[in-house]
Structure formats: C-alpha cells, structure tokens
C-alpha cells in the first residue's frame, strides 16, 4: 500500500469539518500533520464551537500519523510566519503538502441580502479569513517547497466553476480560492509544485448536523428540513479524496484544475465512510439547477 510516511503536511484550518477529516486521512497514510486553527482546549474561537486543534491532532496520531497542534490565526502574518519557521526547523526544511482550508465564514454570510444590504464588516472579515489568510499562508509556505523543488498545494473551495453562489461575498471568496489555485499552478510550474482546488458536495459537517438537529446516526432526518441534505457527504469523503491526491505519483496531471469529491471518487474508486458514493454533481444537475 502506498504511504505518506515521512511526508510533512500543514492543514491550515484543521479544527473541524473538512479540515479535521483531511488531517485524519493524511495521518491514516502515515503523514506528519501540523494542525492549525484558533480553537484550543484553553480558548474558543469566535466560531464558539467545542472542537479543538488538540483533538484533531490526537485523531491524526490515532489514525497512524503524527499530529502536531499549533494555534494560528492565519489572518495574522506574524503567527503564520512563526508556524512556517517552526516547520522549517523541526522538519529540516521539508514541507510536502499545504492544505488551505481556513474558512469560518458561515456566521458571517447573510443569505438573501445583496451587496448593498449585507454587512460590510462581515463581508470584509469573511474575505480576511477565506482569501487573505490563504494568501498569507501560501506566501510563507511556498518557499519551503521551492527549496525542495516539490510540493502539493490544495485550496479547499465550494463549487467547480465561476458561477454565482447565492451571496456576493461568499461567491467571491470561493471563486477566489479556485483562481488562487490556478494562479499558483502557473507561478510555480517550474518548481515541480502542483496546485489545485478541491470542493466537497453538500458537506455533512458537525456544524451542519447541529444546524438540522441531527447526528451522524440519524442524519437523513435532516432532509425533512432541507430536502437536498439527502445527497450530503461526510467530511471524510473529501478527506479521502485529498489523501488519494497526495498518494498519486501522477498528481501533476491535475495542476491548476478544480476537482470535486464526486469526480475523484470515480477516478480513485473510493466511497464515503458510510459505504455510499454520493455524487453531488449529478444530483445538482437533476434536482437543483
């Protein structure tokens, strides 16, 4: 079996949801994973959720890797600089995988309000977290990869195209992530660094389960509140998708592209943790568009 043993990863925004599952799946393949986020055992982030970076790191180690939790607010340049310097020192300059999954924009998104009605402060904060934080993190992490003439950068986004996503700030943030991946692919093509964007379908995260008042055991009850929830997927689906990309010796064929969990499940033949193989792309075309 292919392995990520001796590979070093940063999962920026690994406290919960997709980031946590991605970190665990990289650990499952043997990687050392630096798990960053703002919520620790001692302090909650503005998200006010219970999941912590320490818990994620422990789960990475339990899965077979080595989880290292570091509290980082990726909108603060000095904290990101210190993170990368620590990785540089502890791993003798090695960084193989960077996952930009910083988000925290759900409580900032005012659905149903146009650009003139939406809180400007919330919109700007969303972009600080979902765009500026990604830029800062890439700025400091990329030199390590260039030094070693290799690396994989994955921007976590929502959607595979440039279509409007129902809210000005949300749409602009997610499309920015896609273009950032494409732009870095062009910038870094001479350094054997692969950059791509990856989207889940309807993500059945901890926060979404709570929103619908269900658990993973009875999640289908959530479809009574939102019918499209029936086509949702667990965070481990995108975690497995990213793990497969990290293990793929020919991953550069995807350089600059925007990929999806459902598309990669057909390429790599994996299923979600519950044994299903959800395909949000097909479902969306049939029932949502």
Give the 3-state DSSP-derived string for 143-187, with helices as H, strands as E and coil as C: HHHHHHCCEEEEEECCCCCCCCCCCHHHHHHHHHHHHHHHHHHHH
**How far apart (Å, rounded) are the C-alpha atoms in residues 73 and 53?**
12
Per-domain residue ranges of the chain: 8-288
pLDDT grade for 279, boundaries at 50, 70 and 90: very high
pLDDT grade for 31, boundaries at 50, 70 and 90: very high
pLDDT grade for 2, boundaries at 50, 70 and 90: confident
Task: Return the pLDDT at 46.
Answer: 77
Mean pLDDT calculated for residue range 155-160: 98
Give yes or no for residue 9 having a pLDDT over 80: yes
Give yes or no for residue 47 having a pLDDT over 90: no
**Mean pLDDT, rounded, of the chain:** 96
Q: What is the CATH number of domain 8-288?
A: 3.40.50.720
- List the structure tokens of 222: 């959530």
Mean pLDDT calculated for residue range 73-97: 98
Give yes or no for residue 15 having a pLDDT over 90: yes
Who has greater pLDDT, 93 or 46? 93
Tell me the per-residue pLDDT of 231-240, one tens digit each, with 9 for 90 and over: 999 999 999 9
Range of weakest confidence among 104-108, 123-127, 258-262: 104-108
**How far apart (Å, rounded) are the C-alpha atoms in residues 130 and 156?**
10
Who has greater pLDDT, 45 or 115? 115
Strands 32-37 and 66-71: parallel
Mean pLDDT calculated for residue range 102-122: 97
Apex 263 CA angle, 27 and 254, nearest 5 = 75
Task: Return the pLDDT at 1.
Answer: 60
**pLDDT exceeding 90 applies to what percent of the chain?**
94
pLDDT grade for 184, boundaries at 50, 70 and 90: very high
Q: Measure CA 257 to chain center.
A: 16
| DSSP state for residue 250 in the 8-state scheme | T
Tell me the per-residue pLDDT of 243-267, one tens digit each, with 9 for 90 and over: 999 999 999 999 999 999 999 999 9
Side-chain-side CA neighbours of 260 within 13 Å: the count stands at 17
Query: With 0-12 CB in 10 A as exposed, 13-18 as middle and 19+ as buried, what is 238?
Result: buried
**How far apart (Å, rounded) are the C-alpha atoms in residues 91 and 132?**
26
**How far apart (Å, rounded) are the C-alpha atoms in residues 123 and 102?**
15
Task: Return the pLDDT at 50.
Answer: 85
pTM for the full predicted model: 0.96
Handedness of CA 123, 125, 128, 129 (dihedral sign): negative
């Amino acid at each position: 079996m292919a392995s990520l043993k001796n590979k070093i990863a940063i999962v920026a925004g690994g406290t919960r949801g997709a980031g946590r599952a991605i970190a665990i799946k990289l650990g499952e393949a043997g990687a050392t994973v630096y798990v960053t986020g703002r919520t620790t055992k001692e302090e909650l982030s503005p998200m006010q959720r219970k999941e912590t970076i320490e818990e994620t790191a422990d789960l990475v180690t339990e899965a077979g890797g080595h989880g290292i939790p570091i509290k980082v607010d990726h909108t603060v340049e000095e904290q990101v600089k210190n993170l990368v310097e620590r990785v540089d020192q502890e791993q003798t300059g090695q960084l193989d995988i960077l996952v930009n999954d910083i988000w925290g924009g759900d409580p900032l998104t005012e659905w149903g309000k146009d650009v003139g009605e939406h809180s400007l402060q919330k919109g700007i904060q969303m972009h600080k977290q979902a765009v500026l934080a990604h830029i800062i993190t890439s700025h400091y992490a990329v030199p390590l990869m260039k030094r070693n003439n290799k690396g994989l950068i994955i921007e976590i986004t929502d959607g595979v195209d440039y279509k409007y996503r129902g809210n000005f700030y949300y749409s602009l943030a997610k499309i920015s992530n896609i273009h950032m991946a494409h732009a870095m692919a062009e910038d870094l093509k001479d350094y054997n660094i692969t950059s791509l964007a990856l989207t889940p379908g309807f993500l059945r995260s901890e926060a979404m389960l709570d929103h619908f008042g269900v658990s993973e055991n009875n999640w289908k009850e959530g479809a009574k509140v939102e019918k499209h929830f029936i086509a949702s997927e667990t965070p481990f689906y995108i975690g497995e998708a990213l793990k497969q990309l990290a293990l793929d010796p020919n991953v550069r064929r995807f350089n600059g592209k925007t990929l999806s969990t459902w598309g990669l499940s057909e390429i790599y033949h994996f299923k979600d943790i519950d044994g299903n193989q959800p395909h949000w792309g097909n479902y969306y075309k049939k029932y949502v568009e």
